[in-house]
Every structure is written in C-alpha cells, then in structure tokens.
Amino acid sequence: MNTFESTVGGVTVGGTAHSLSAWFVLALRLTFGYAFLAAGLEKVLESGWTAQGYLANVAAANGNPLEPMFAWMATTPWFVSFVDVAVPWGELLIGLGLIVGLLVRLAAFWGATMMAMFYFGNWSIEHGIVNSDLAYVVVFLAIAAFGAGRIIGLDAVVENYEFSDGRTLLEKYPRLDYVLG
C-alpha cells in the first residue's frame, strides 16, 4: 500500500497513492529536469548572456512591491556578476541532477528557490496570485517531498551504498536524506 502521512503544526494530513503515482512523479522530475537543463544550456552557450536587463526592468515594469530590491540587484555589479553565473549554471545543474536522479532534493530546493525569485520578479496578480512560476515552486517541492531521485535515479544507488560494516550510506549519515532522494 502506498500511504503517506505528515503532521505539521499539529495538523495531520495523509493519503493513499495509486501505484501509477511513481510514474507521474518520475515524469515530473524528468520534465522539469529537461526544462531547466535546456534553459541553462541555452544561457551558458549564449555569448554575453546577462541577467542585468531582467533585474533592471522586470520589477519596475509591473508594479512589483519588491522593485527597490530588484533595482539594487541590477545596480550592484558584484551581484549581477554572481547572478550571471548562478542562473545559467544553476539551471543547468538543477536540470542535470533531476534528469539523472542525483541529489534530487538539493536540486529541487534550489529549483524552488530560483522559481520563487522569478515569481517575485515576474510579479503579476491581475489574474490572481497563482501563476506558472508559483506552480513551478510547488512542483519542485513535490519532487523533493516524494523522493523522486529514488525512482529510476542515481539517488537510490548512492543511498544504498553499503560500507564494510554493513550499514548503508543513509544509515551511516542520515542527514544526507535532506539532499538525496
């Protein structure tokens, strides 16, 4: 039986998943992995790609309450230089991690973080607060929560690596469960 349950703040939720759920979790991981890999690869291969124009214009153009923060980011040379490396390589590495199923929870965390920044940068609530950027955040969190790297992924192999004392990697280092899975 594929059951799951969690308690947060004294509230418990749970459910039973259909056996096909694993395939759909895998599909989410691979789809979002491909989307991020392609976006990152495009930026890495594009000569002179920079986030400066996005940072300078996106928030100012849409009534964004975080416009002063985005203006600071756009006019701070060291920050623009950091983002010019972090965004394309982050997208590429997040995508690669999701596709091969390695360090999936870590990749999903950074994917959700990146999409949250895009959500605030692309601020637009004329049709409500939910848009595709926010949906990406939630999907990345679901990928992490379901341990999608354990479904035809390298995380399953890495987690089950057995030491000479008979313990697996996760038994020996349980905190790795936060980045693997």
SS (HEC) of 94-142: HHHHHHHCCCHHHHHHHHHHHHHHHHHHCCCCECECCCHHHHHHHHHHH
Instruction: Determine, yes or no, domain membership for 7.
Output: no
Distance CA 85, CA 77 (A): 13
3-state secondary structure of 22: helix
Task: Provide the whole-model pTM.
Answer: 0.87
Instruction: Determine, yes or no, domain membership for 10.
Output: no
Q: What is the pLDDT of residues 15-71, one digit of tens each?
A: 888 888 899 999 999 999 999 999 999 999 998 899 988 888 877 767 778 888 988
3-state secondary structure of 49: coil
Instruction: Determine, yes or no, domain membership for 2.
Output: no
Count up the domains in the chain and report the number: 1
Instruction: Determine, yes or no, domain membership for 131.
Output: yes
List the structure tokens of 113.
């973080």
Instruction: Determine, yes or no, domain membership for 16.
Output: no
Instruction: Determine, yes or no, domain membership for 4.
Output: no
> Average per-residue pLDDT in the chain?
91
pLDDT of residue 1: 60
Domain extent, residue 53, equals: 22-178
Instruction: Determine, yes or no, domain membership for 94.
Output: yes
Residue for token digits 């400066």?
52
Question: Which of 71, 56, 51, 67 minimizes the C-alpha distance to 123?
Answer: 67
Instruction: Determine, yes or no, domain membership for 146.
Output: yes
| Banded pLDDT at 115 (limits 50, 70, 90) | very high
One-letter amino acid identity for 1? Answer: M
Question: Which of 178, 146, 158, 143 minimizes the C-alpha distance to 30?
Answer: 143
